[in-house]
């Protein structure tokens, strides 16, 4: 069964590729690349790039967890961990996270209609 958590695994591949400048699963042979995605042991990223610390390593391993029940359950949970990692030196929170917090605090739905322009866009 495939669900939205499969997208999080794909996002983990992209995140690791951004950090390493290469796809850890890619092989010259497409069939082997698919086999790598399905069964290749996830590497210790700190061995591939020295400045990846334990906290980022844990995030990468969780987002690339093959067992979807052990993987992040939502993009929001991944976002929270990434923000906690990025802002652990006391920067943050982001406007996005503040908006989510305030909507949850006051039990308000996301104002999708408020994001749309009221009328036709002016011609510039």
CATH number at residue 51: 1.10.510.10
Residues 69-107 pLDDT 10s: 999 999 989 998 998 888 877 666 677 777 777 888 888
Question: Does residue 117 fall inside a structural domain?
Answer: no
Question: Does residue 118 fall inside a structural domain?
Answer: no
Contact 19, 52 (CB under 8 A): yes
Question: Does residue 14 fall inside a structural domain?
Answer: yes
The pLDDT score that the predictor gives to residue 112 is 60
Contacts of residue 57, defined as CB under 8 A and 6 or more positions apart, other chains included, come to 44, 45, 46
Nearest to 40 by CA among 28, 53, 52, 27: 27
Question: Does residue 104 fall inside a structural domain?
Answer: yes
Question: Does residue 124 fall inside a structural domain?
Answer: no
The pLDDT score that the predictor gives to residue 114 is 52
The pLDDT score that the predictor gives to residue 115 is 55
Question: Does residue 33 fall inside a structural domain?
Answer: yes
The Cα-based distances of 94 to 1, 29, 82, 83, 101 in angstroms read: 34, 41, 11, 8, 11
Residues 33-65 pLDDT 10s: 999 999 999 999 999 999 999 999 999 999 999
Q: Where in the sequence is the domain holding 93, given as residue range(s)?
A: 5-108
How many domains is the chain partitioned into structurally? 1
Task: Tell me how far apart the alpha carbons of residues 59 and 61 are, in angstroms, rounded to a whole number.
Answer: 5
pLDDT top residue among 109 and 60: 60
The pLDDT score that the predictor gives to residue 3 is 75
What is the helix (H) or strand (E) element at residue 60, kind and residue range? Answer: helix 54-63
Query: Residue 28 pLDDT > 90, yes or no?
Result: yes
Question: Does residue 38 fall inside a structural domain?
Answer: yes
Question: Does residue 114 fall inside a structural domain?
Answer: no
């Amino acid at each position: 069964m495939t669900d939205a958590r499969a997208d999080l695994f794909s996002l983990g591949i992209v995140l690791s590729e951004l950090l390493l400048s290469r796809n850890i699963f890619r092989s010259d042979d497409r069939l082997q690349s698919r086999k790598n995605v399905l069964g290749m042991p996830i590497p210790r990223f700190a061995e591939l790039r020295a400045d990846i610390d334990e906290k980022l390593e844990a995030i990468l391993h969780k987002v690339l967890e093959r067992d979807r029940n052990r993987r992040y359950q939502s993009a929001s949970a991944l976002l929270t961990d990434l923000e906690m990692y990025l802002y652990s030196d006391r920067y943050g929170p982001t406007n996005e996270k503040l908006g989510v917090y305030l909507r949850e605090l006051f039990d308000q739905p996301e104002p999708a209609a408020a994001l749309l322009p009221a009328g036709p866009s002016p011609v510039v």
